[in-house]
Amino acid sequence: MEQSSMEKYVPLHVCHVNKTSIIINRAHAFLHFIAILFLIHYRLSFFFQHPKNTTIPTLPWLLIFVSELLLSLAWLFTQSYRWRPVTRTVFPERLPADDKLPAIDVFICTADPNKEPSVEVMNTVISAMALAYPPEKLHVYVSDDAGSDVTLRCTKEAWNFARYWVPFCRKYDLVTACPDVYFSSSEVDSGDFEGSEFKAARTKMEEKYEVLKQRIRRIVQQHSTTGDALHNTRDHPSIIEVINEHPKEEDEVKMPLLVYVSREKRPSHHHNFKAGALNVLLRVSMMISNSPYILMLDCDMYCNDPTSTRQAMCYYCDPQTPSSIAFVQFPQTFRNICEDDIYDGEIRNLMKIFWHGFDGVGGPTISGSNFYIKREALLGSFSKQQELMALKRSFGPSNDFIKTLVEDYKPGFIHDGESSRMLLEKANVLASCSYENQTSWDYFTGFTLHRKGWKSVYLYPKKPQFLGIATTNFNDTSIQWTRWASGLTSVAISKFCPLIYGPLKMSWVQLMCYSELAFMPLLNCLSLWGFALIPQLCLFNDISLYPKVSDSNFNIFFIIFVSAILKSLYEVVTTGGQVRTWRNDWRIWMMRSVTSYFYGSLDVVFNKLGMKEASFLPTNKVIDDEHAKLYEMGIFDFRTATTFLAPLVTVILVNIAAFVRTLVVNVVDNDRDGFWEKMFGQMDDNQER
């Protein structure tokens, strides 16, 4: 009997181990590590020399040695991503019938209608409602952390348009669920689009979309020209509204539930940024739909492929898949990346290399957006026999919310006037700014989930499942990476530091992956500042920090340099990049290390010392035509705050001054004392900066 059932089993997904990459990565890591050991031996031997045998001061030698050690440690951490890279394939056509599929809640977070264009946000909402999934099992929540009337009114307009757009997508099997992309793209969608019926329907739908855009822009304009613009985004009550009105003049069609949520915010309460908003969504959604799975999206990440729901369900509906899979992470991809990608908007290393390796050693961490997660992983599983007061200490005083924890994901919303009103009143309590006081509500991360024994997978289909908008100027890029660096560093110097919080709870390779993430800003900014200044300042005083070209020890530095260059070039080329892509990646990494990583780390240190409060401004998503034009041409736009320019200008001036001074002095002195041979390594380092 058991053998018969096994024969009928057809997998919904497969995992491919990239054996060739494993061999290349491990062989390179072994050889490169040996070279680093020789470098360390060379540096250490300096301290055991007799003082009479050296004229080099100890301090600069020590500082450059520390910089090399920090950068080597950063490199060592990154090898964990290359230890066991895997890729995955899913078969959504093998899923069970629609009535057997579990329900899904979609969380869409927005925080500032001035920096996040309402038309783009509503396109994300509409594309989520058009996902290829049973509509009665799909529930879309829009989290407006600004509590703006603009977002609420625009959401209602999006609903009115979606009543026509969603049936249109279903009828003609559109594979482009985002209306803005569909109507602006020259590419032909799948399906039969030659008939006159479709052409007439498409024309009518395009007209409706133009009306939608005009109405949204009018709402935004009214907001900016009236007193509504003075609305305080950090001081407003909670608002929860189920937007489910149906047209009376037409036959009713099945539509996903659309809910607008704005939590209460007061200046006297710390709101915990996006994490706090997601916790409110988690509670409110449990009172209304209580779906066992959740899709989390940023407001500018529209659903590019409506089948992402079914692809993710291949892991949750497969009877042979372990129930310990907490979330399925999709990559962050962007539709406005230029050919040169001068700001590394593609996040190439993370999305195309690191996360595949992370997946091979236990699963990647949560990337902030584009992932389906099991609600049980966030809240745990409970029984009716558990002590009520213990649950209240963990999850707050609401009896109605506690009841949902033990109801096995039964939805609470009923399309009945009185019932709906009472339910929303209870949900508003859960969205109050003081609800989490005296409770143990946590702000979950992939790290805490993996530490509890949960697993995750990384799915990278050929067609991008979600597409967003990348930053197209240096200022916005720097702000974004400073915010990310601050978040990572705050983990590194907290009780959740992977090296302290992680051992014995996960594999050592996965632990190294998390350590790389947490310490990456600190290791990179400290080491790069050392390399950018110390050798150059030593040039002014003719202090040599590297061996002569004729010295056999020079080969150590040469091998490490060439090894790192060739390996990174190999990874860029094999993931679809070009030589100029590789050059741009190195350049923006060095710029980012001495600016964003530095300020992000500094922000956390000051905050820990009580000197300032961390501030996280949303990245500007409004596309400026001039910025976009320069970006498309591959030209850096350095119009940014002095904060970001000052470190770059300092490094450039020091490097130029050291190089010119050394060049002039030694040309005049005709290569005194074999200076060029002695200082070649240092001059080369100066030019690389």
Q: Which tens digits make up the pLDDT trace of 230-265?
A: 556 777 788 899 987 544 445 467 899 999 999 988
| Proportion of the chain above pLDDT 70, given as a percent | 86
Confidence (pLDDT) at 505: 78
Mean pLDDT of 142-165: 93
Q: Which of 178-192, 345-359, 518-532, 610-624 has the lowest mean pLDDT?
A: 610-624
Instruction: Band the pLDDT of 687: cuts 50, 70, 90.
Output: very low
The identity of residue 299, as a single letter, is C
Instruction: Band the pLDDT of 325: cuts 50, 70, 90.
Output: very high
The string of pLDDT tens digits covering residues 488-535 is 999 999 888 998 887 777 889 999 999 999 999 999 999 999 999 999
Q: Which of 94-98, 312-316, 376-380 has the lowest mean pLDDT?
A: 376-380
319 contact partners, CB below 8 Å, separation of at least 6: 9
Residues composing the chain: 689
Instruction: Band the pLDDT of 4: cuts 50, 70, 90.
Output: very low
145 noted as active-site residue: yes
Confidence (pLDDT) at 684: 57
461 contact partners, CB below 8 Å, separation of at least 6: 90, 305, 311, 330
Give burial (CB, 10 Å; 0-12/13-18/19+) of 614.
Answer: middle
Confidence (pLDDT) at 671: 55
Helices (H), 541-619: 554-574, 579-594, 596-608
Instruction: Tell me: pLDDT of 311 over 90.
Output: yes
d(CA 390, CA 123): 42
d(CA 269, CA 431): 13
Distances (CA, A) of 406 to 91, 290, 401, 409: 33, 11, 9, 8
Instruction: Tell me: pLDDT of 685 over 60.
Output: no
Q: Is the pTM of this model over 0.85?
A: yes
Count CB atoms within 10 A of the CB of residue 467: 21
Numbered ranges of CATH 3.90.550.10 in the chain = 112-472
In terms of Cα–Cα distance, which of 321, 375, 323, 462 is closest to 14? 321
In terms of Cα–Cα distance, which of 409, 402, 406, 339 is closest to 374? 409
442 noted as active-site residue: yes
Confidence (pLDDT) at 226: 62
Instruction: Tell me: pLDDT of 150 over 70.
Output: yes
Q: Which residues pair with 109 in a beta bridge?
A: 143, 298
Confidence (pLDDT) at 590: 94
The string of pLDDT tens digits covering residues 352-375 is 999 999 999 999 999 889 999 999
CATH architecture of 112-472: Alpha-Beta Complex (3.90)
User: In terms of pLDDT, which residue wins out, 405 or 34?
Assistant: 34
Among 331-345, 371-385, 435-449, name the most confident range.
331-345
Confidence (pLDDT) at 617: 52
Instruction: Tell me: pLDDT of 199 over 50.
Output: yes
d(CA 120, CA 137): 25
298 is in an annotated binding site: yes
User: In terms of pLDDT, which residue wins out, 458 or 494?
Assistant: 458
Confidence (pLDDT) at 391: 75
Confidence (pLDDT) at 384: 61
Instruction: Tell me: pLDDT of 115 over 50.
Output: yes
Confidence (pLDDT) at 251: 47
In terms of Cα–Cα distance, which of 404, 394, 454 is closest to 426? 404
Instruction: Tell me: pLDDT of 587 over 60.
Output: yes
- Residue 56 has which token pair? 């080099």
User: What three-state secondary structure class fits 143?
Assistant: strand
Instruction: Tell me: pLDDT of 160 over 70.
Output: yes
The identity of residue 350, as a single letter, is L
Mean pLDDT of 85-111: 95
Single out the catalytic residue among 145, 180, 300, 318. Answer: 145
551 is in an annotated binding site: no
d(CA 388, CA 406): 11
Angle between helices 149-172 and 196-225 (to 10 degrees): 170
Q: Which of 194-208, 288-302, 472-486, 655-669 has the lowest mean pLDDT?
A: 655-669
- Residue 640 has which token pair? 């940014």
149 is in an annotated binding site: no
The string of pLDDT tens digits covering residues 618-655 is 565 556 677 778 888 888 888 888 889 999 999 999 98
Q: Which residues pair with 297 in a beta bridge?
A: 108
Question: What residue has token string 């040599």?
Answer: 544
Q: 265: which DSSP letter?
A: B
In terms of Cα–Cα distance, which of 429, 449, 438 is closest to 380? 449
Contact 601, 73 (CB under 8 A): no
Cα angle 625, 629, 632 (rounded to 5 degrees) comes to 135
Confidence (pLDDT) at 463: 93
Confidence (pLDDT) at 3: 47
116 is in an annotated binding site: yes
Confidence (pLDDT) at 621: 58
Q: Which of 140-149, 283-292, 391-400, 564-573 has the lowest mean pLDDT?
A: 391-400
The identity of residue 412, as a single letter, is G
Rounded mean pLDDT of the chain?
85
d(CA 459, CA 307): 13
The identity of residue 51, as a single letter, is P
| Proportion of the chain above pLDDT 90, given as a percent | 52
Q: Which residues pair with 259 in a beta bridge?
A: 141, 242
Instruction: Tell me: pLDDT of 228 over 60.
Output: no
Confidence (pLDDT) at 688: 47
Mean pLDDT of 466-474: 90
Q: SS3 string of 411-456?
A: CCCCCCHHHHHHHHHHHHHHCCCCCCCCCCCCCCCHHHHHHCCCEE
Helices (H), 256-354: 273-288, 308-316, 348
Mean pLDDT of 156-175: 93
Confidence (pLDDT) at 264: 85
d(CA 46, CA 546): 11
Contact 659, 686 (CB under 8 A): yes
In terms of Cα–Cα distance, which of 579, 539, 554 is closest to 683? 539
Confidence (pLDDT) at 676: 58
Instruction: Describe the chain by its helix, strand, coil percentages, rounded to 5.
Output: 55, 10, 35
